[in-house]
Structure 1
C-alpha cells in the first residue's frame, strides 16, 4: 500500500485508480440504462466532483448535458455543518431530469439543501449520484440511486477530493493514516 504526505498528514492508498475507473464505468452504464430516452443534466458539485463528473460523463452513452454549482461546507478535515452557495446555477431546470453529481455524501446536509433548492426550479426529477458514501455518518434519509463506493467514516483525498486544497490531482483515493 503506497503512502503520500500532504502538508502535515500522511495518507495511504485505499481505492486504486483501476478500481475507481471500473466502478465509474459501471455507474455510467446504469445511468445510461435508467435514463434512456431522456437528456439528463448532470449537475456537478465543485470542486471535489470535477474529475468524477468528467469521467462519468465520458462513460455515459446517452445524450446528456453538464453544468456546475459550487458549494462550500469544509474547513480543513471537518465539515462546518453550514453550506454556503458560492456559484449558482443559471440554466432553467423546468421539466428537466437532473442528476446531482457529488464527490462524497456524508451527513446528507449538503445534498438535502441542494435538493430543496433545485425543487424550487421545477425539475421533472432529481437524482443523486455520488462517488463516495459514508453510510454510518448519513443522518438525513436520502434516495441515493447511484453510488460508486461505500466507505467507512475516514478522511480521504485524491481523485478530486482534497485536504486544504491539496491532493486533488492524485489518481488513487487515499485514507488519512492515524
Structure 2
C-alpha cells in the first residue's frame, strides 16, 4: 500500500465525527421539505455543483416532489493552485434558465467565492431568481461577501477541515457516510 493511501486511511481512523449519517439524512429531509414548500410552483432548473454537490444533490433530488429540470455545472477558482482567482468553467450549464428560477445545490458554503460567482453568473445570464441549497454552512468570519447566505442550509458546522457526503480530503472520502473533521485541522 502506498504511503499516500496509508495517510488517507489514517485520516479517517483519527477523524472526529461531527455529524452521523442519521443526522445528515434528517438535515437533507428538512431542506427538501423547505424547498418543496417554496419552489414547487416555480418550475425551477436545478444545478448540482460538481464534484462536491453530487451526493447531497442526489439525495435531495429524490425528495423533491414536483417537476423540475436537473443538470450540473462545474466551476472552480483554483485550477490546481492553492489560492483562488477568476472563475473557470470546467462544464457550463447546458439547460437554459432565462426567466426561470434556478436552484444551485452545493456541498458547503465556506468562504463563498465560487458559489457567489456562480450566483452572479446565473443572474447575469437571465435567471428570474437564484436560490441556493448547501448541506453545510461553515461558521466563521471569512465569508467573501457578508451578504452571501444560502437560502436552504442543512447543518451549521464549526470551522474545521471537514469531509464526507461529497466533501473531500485530498480527493478522498467524499463517500464517507457522515461528516468528519480532520484531526488537528
TM-score over 0.5 for the pair: yes
Gaps of 5+ in 2: 1-6
Give 1:68 deviation, angstroms.
0.5
Quote the Cα distance in structure 1 between the aligned partners of 2:24 and 2:46: 19
Match of 1:161 in 2: 167
Give yes or no for the alignment of 1:174 onto 2:163. no
Give the number of aligned pairs.
174
1:81 maps onto 2:90 in alignment:
no
User: Where does residue 118 of structure 1 map in the other structure?
Assistant: 122
Q: Return 78-87 or 24-33, whichever deviates more.
A: 78-87
Instruction: Mark the structure with the bigger radius of gyration.
Output: 2
CA-to-aligned-CA distance 1:41-90 (integer Å, 9 cap, x gap): 111100011000011111112222211111234689x9622342211112
1:108 to 107, 112, 116: 112
Inter-partner Cα distance in structure 2 for 1:8 and 1:80 = 26
TM-score using structure 2 length? 0.86
Give 1:164 shift.
1.6
Distance 1:131 1:40 in 2: 19
1:39 equivalent in structure 2: 43
CA contact (8 A) 1:75 1:164 kept: no
Q: Select the structure that is richer in helix.
A: 2
Residue 83 of structure 2: SS of its match in structure 1?
strand
Alpha carbons 2:40, 2:65 under 8 Å: kept = no
The structure-2 alpha-carbon separation of the partners of 1:128 and 1:8, relative to structure 1 and needing over 3 Å to count, comes to same
Aligned equivalent of 1:152: 158
140-149 vs 16-25, which moves further: 140-149
Query: What TM-score results when the alignment is normalised by the length of structure 1?
Result: 0.89
Shift in CA distance, 110/79, structure 1 to aligned 2, threshold 3 Å: farther
The structure in which a higher percent of residues are strand is 1
User: In structure 2, how many angstroms separate the alpha carbons of the residues matched to 1:84 and 1:32?
Assistant: 32
Is the 8 Å Cα contact of residues 97 and 124 (structure 1) preserved in structure 2? Answer: yes
Residue 21 (structure 1) shift: 0.6
> 2-side partners of 1:79 and 1:53: how far apart?
26
Unaligned runs of 5+ in 1: none
Residue 98 of structure 1: aligned partner: 102
SS in 2 for 1:150: strand
